[in-house]
Structure 1
Amino acid sequence: MRLQLFRAGFVTAGLLFPLLFFSCKAIAQEGSQNEFLSIATSATILYDAPSLNAGKLYVASVNLPLEVVVKVVGWVKVRDYHGYLAWVEDKNLSPKRFVIVNASVGSVYQSPDQNSSLVFQARQDVVLEWLGAAANGWVKVKHQDGQVGYIRTDQVWGV
């Protein structure tokens, strides 16, 4: 009798596991298309699991860009530009795109060409609003003070 119950439980688990695996895999593939969101509220807490009772990892500032890894009801598992994984409540996220300078100094030009006029330079960890992709490895960005220009994609994270 116990063996039969164990077998039934094992078979049931065996049938459920592939369904759970494929549904998680489909969600993870959605995030693997480099979907980026940003923190929408100031002082947003990121957790080590999708629960308000989970361990608190750190507090993120508004506009911080994050890469989507997995979405579940009410929560999103994200990766920051350091590669750290965390969970955040989806109500604290915005689809508005931002990038973060990952070079020691990021140079922003008037047009997507290094021979054009330099508009400004941004230090590492400065967050810039993403205005869209440009050709040949450039993105159009906006500084919080209103300056607009183009920066090479290898100088920012979140593209």
Structure 2
Amino acid sequence: MIRRLCFGIVFLLFFTSLAHAEMVSIKTPKARIRSGPGVNHPIKFELGTGYPLRVVSRKGKWLKVTDYESDTGWISKTLVSKIPHLIVKTEKTVIRTGPGTHQRVVGNAKRGVVLRTLKHQKGWVQIKHESGLIGWIQRDTLWGW
């Protein structure tokens, strides 16, 4: 009985952690993503401030991460923060004054644009663009947190 209970708890914790994957965002203007955990590994690509990443695993002071295009690599923990950001994953998305398709359009954002996450509400996200524009975007056009 106790064995089954312990197994059940471990099973539940494992799948709960999968549902709430850890997210981080780049906190520097230029961060290098490497092929392995350490500065001796080759650079795969570079990312800019706010770019959201999902943490896949950890090794010492390094995080193995993946992005919205499923590209993976390693980044130093010192280069990321817990400030939530999103990236536009569709060709283009509409920015509105409020959460709903009946709200006035105030702008557009193209694929790859990074946005600061302010608030979530029923399938919509309030965002802030680097230009200072604040608005709402449908959640299913975005990737991140």
**Shorter-normalised TM range:** 0.7 to 0.9
| Residue 74 of structure 1 pairs with residue 61 of structure 2 | yes
Where does residue 141 of structure 1 map in the other structure? 127
In structure 2, what is the equivalent of residue 129 of structure 1? 116
3-state SS of paired residue (2:58): strand
1:52 corresponding residue in structure 2: 39
Query: Structure 1 regions of 5+ residues with no counterpart?
Result: 1-21
Asked if 2 retains the 8 angstrom alpha-carbon contact of 1:31 and 1:69, the reply is no
Report the Cα offset of residue 71 of structure 1.
Answer: 2.4
Question: Which structure features the higher share of helix residues?
Answer: 1
Unaligned segments of structure 2, at least 5 residues: 1-9
Q: For 1:74 and 1:32, how far apart are their aligned partners in 2?
A: 24
TM-score by length of 1: 0.77
Given the alignment of the two structures, is residue 110 of structure 1 paired with residue 118 of structure 2, yes or no?
no
| Identity, % of aligned positions | 28
Distance 2:19 2:56 in 1: 7
Residue 154 (structure 1) shift: 1.2
Give 1:30 deviation, angstroms.
4.4
Give the Cα separation in 2 of the matches to 1:58 and 1:32.
Answer: 27
Pick one of 89, 92, 96 that aligns with 2:79.
Answer: 92
Q: How far does the alpha carbon of each residue in 1:2-21 deviate from its partner, in whole angstroms, 9 at most, with x for none?
A: xxxxxxxxxxxxxxxxxxxx
Whole-angstrom CA distance in 2 between matches of 1:30 and 1:94: 19
| 1:143 partner letter | H
Q: Which runs of 4+ in 1 moved over 3 A?
A: 28-32
Q: TM-score, structure 2 length as denominator?
A: 0.84
Larger radius of gyration, structure 1 or 2?
Answer: 1
Give 1:35 shift. 2.1
Length, aligned pairs only:
134
Q: Does 1:156 align with 2:142?
A: yes
The residue type paired with residue 135 of structure 2 is G
- The residue identity in structure 1 corresponding to 2:127 is V
* Partner-residue secondary structure (3-state), 1:125: coil
